[in-house]
Amino acid sequence: MSKVIVHSLFSEFDIDLFKLGKHFRLYEKFGSHIVTVNGVKGTYFSVWAPSAKSVSVIGDFNFWNENEHQLNVRWDASGIWEGFIPEVGKGNIYKYKIHSHHNGVITEKADPYARRYEHPPKTASVVWEDSYDWKDSEWMKKRKKNNAIDAPFSVYEVHLGSWKRKIEEDRSLSYYELADELVAYVKKMNFTHVELMPIMEYPYDPSWGYQLTGYFAPTSRFGYPEEFKLLVDKLHQNDIGILLDWVPSHFPEDGHGLGFFDGSCLYEHPDRRKGYHPDWKSLIFNYGRNEVKSFLISNAIFWLDQYHADGLRVDAVASMLFLDYSREDGEWEPNIFGGRENLEAIDFMKELNQEVYRSFPDVQTIAEESTSFPMVSKPTFVGGLGFGMKWMMGWMHDTLLYMGKEPIHRRHHQNDLTFSMTYAFTENFLLPLSHDEVVYGKRSIIGRMPGDEWQKFANLRLLYSYMFTHPGTNLLFMGAEFGQHDEWNFQGSLDWHLLQYDYHSGIQNLITDLNKLYKENPALYEKQFDAEGFEWISYDDYENSVITYVRKGHNDKEALVIACNFTPVPRKDYRIGISMKGTLKQIFNSDDTKYGGTGNFKASKIKIESKDWHYRDYSAEITIPPLGAVVFKFDK
């Protein structure tokens, strides 16, 4: 006989919202919750399994015997099974054993809402609660300003398992260790935000975390949930925001995961044309099912609410938007209007963003989206998807293609460099040089640069200088900030030993100063998504492979003049048009010796002459170093 006591955390209103797809705090109800019933302490369990004939909680407290603790199905046709088990508490290990109505199928599943899981390769859920005492109140008060679209937003992308390892112990750093070492490093490098590749529990290391089974639990690989909160807290105490990679696009078929959960296609779409991803061999959520939509939006809210995340970078948005994504003719079915858009997924993303910004107006959602789908980062009330920002994949592709060419050929490809400005303000773009660009034979970023060693590093300095002064926010994957030669290896550590060499430490110094330049000059961020914040001086000097432009904020007198030379030939006495009188003061030079440059092409103050040039009334002669970039400010 079952030793489960009838108990519920659900009100009738909760159930109505759940059925309608409008309950966005399901983590407060589903899963395992330590409670006291009639003076007895124990754990309340609840799980959604509408196709189940019976559901049992099996675990270390009942010798995994399915006959000991059978849950009760609710009377309201919600498909929810629930009940209270006395004397089960924090640290107990469990799963749900489900007998299905469908062909006698039996499944053993981890709890979709569990707050902690066993360390992989073990797969059971763990009853857990923590009472972490947050100390980031100062950050939380001001983060709306720090996370705003008119604030500096420079992101350091990190894979926690391979950022730094304890070589002698052959292990990654723990959340506790990262709270010291990673936080101190990011602060030293002047990044404004850290983006973590998925830290939700996942079974397979080579997936890098993008195939999730535990959507509501930080992975146990690096420690306990409260230790992950400590990492977030320490970042905030040091004025660093944290973004989490979030994966609502697909999930793996692992036996303990969401797939075929109760013997039916519960979370995944039952039509394989919509429910199976051929590239990733994974299952696709059924975005048209209300309860699934509630699950996903509740999960997004959970990380913002319970873990104080400053934003979510939403993975693989393009795969969600289009029914024919990665499919051949005949492998997909058009929508009701005959189009290729996934209307249910589009509605889900709009509702997701509406709820996120309604509940947390001081965070950002960022779409990793690679197509020309319109208005991804525009508000839903004007027909957009409602994201705060979108990755600028076109800029990344075109710029890396251009930078990979020998300088002698670049004059034939100037359009690759300048084309991004034709669409730069159609979205709120984030410029990414992410982990995807340094794996699978693509080579490292420094490995793509042509020329001898000096030219490779000069090209890299130039690329980063152009990136940080281009409109938009930016993201750099770990290792790229010091010019790591090898492709990223998720099983190893970054090649920190390279910092003993001047060229590599020079790149690190460059990124530190570019972040500082970005944060200290409003011209680079106040109008980073506004066409008024950018002005070409000259984009058509392809013979010299030089581009010059102006970045502007709210105060025109704080404008910056940027010049980039994409050849190894120094451009001396290079005249550029200027819109105002006065003098120019050089505030950045990528050829500085502390970055590994020559230091031979310095300039202090440059007089602006009353000589018209580039359709402007004034002009000045500047020197642009070989494979270099310089930034000037108007001297008051």
Active site amino acids = 315, 368
Rounded Cα distance between 20 and 307, Å, is 27
Rounded Cα distance between 535 and 106, Å, is 64
Rg (CA), the chain: 27
Rounded to a whole number of angstroms, the distance between the first and last alpha carbons of the chain is 84
Specify the length of the chain in residues: 636
Looking only at the bridges linking them, the beta strands covering 72-73 and 80-86 are antiparallel
CB atoms within 10 A of CB 571: 20
**Beta carbons of 271 and 323 less than 8 angstroms apart:** no
In sequence order, the 6+-apart residues with CB closer than 8 A to the CB of 297 are 24, 348, 351, 352, 355
Rounded Cα distance between 49 and 263, Å, is 9
Rounded Cα distance between 618 and 581, Å, is 7
How large is the angle between the packed helices 343-359 and 290-306, nearest 10 degrees?
A: 30
Which amino acid makes up residue 178?
Answer: L
Rounded Cα distance between 152 and 242, Å, is 14
In sequence order, the 6+-apart residues with CB closer than 8 A to the CB of 77 are none
Which amino acid makes up residue 115?
Answer: R
CB atoms within 10 A of CB 275: 17
Cis previous bond, 121, omega within 30: yes
CB atoms within 10 A of CB 586: 19
Rounded Cα distance between 301 and 174, Å, is 25
In sequence order, the 6+-apart residues with CB closer than 8 A to the CB of 324 are 331, 332, 340
How large is the angle between the packed helices 502-520 and 175-189, nearest 10 degrees?
A: 80
Q: Determine what percent of the chain falls in helix, strand and coil, rounding each to the nearest 5.
A: 30, 25, 45
Rounded Cα distance between 224 and 243, Å, is 19
Here the tokens at position 574 are 């290079």
List Cα–Cα distances, 574 to 375, 570, 571, 587, 623, in angstroms.
40, 10, 6, 18, 6
Rounded Cα distance between 561 and 537, Å, is 9
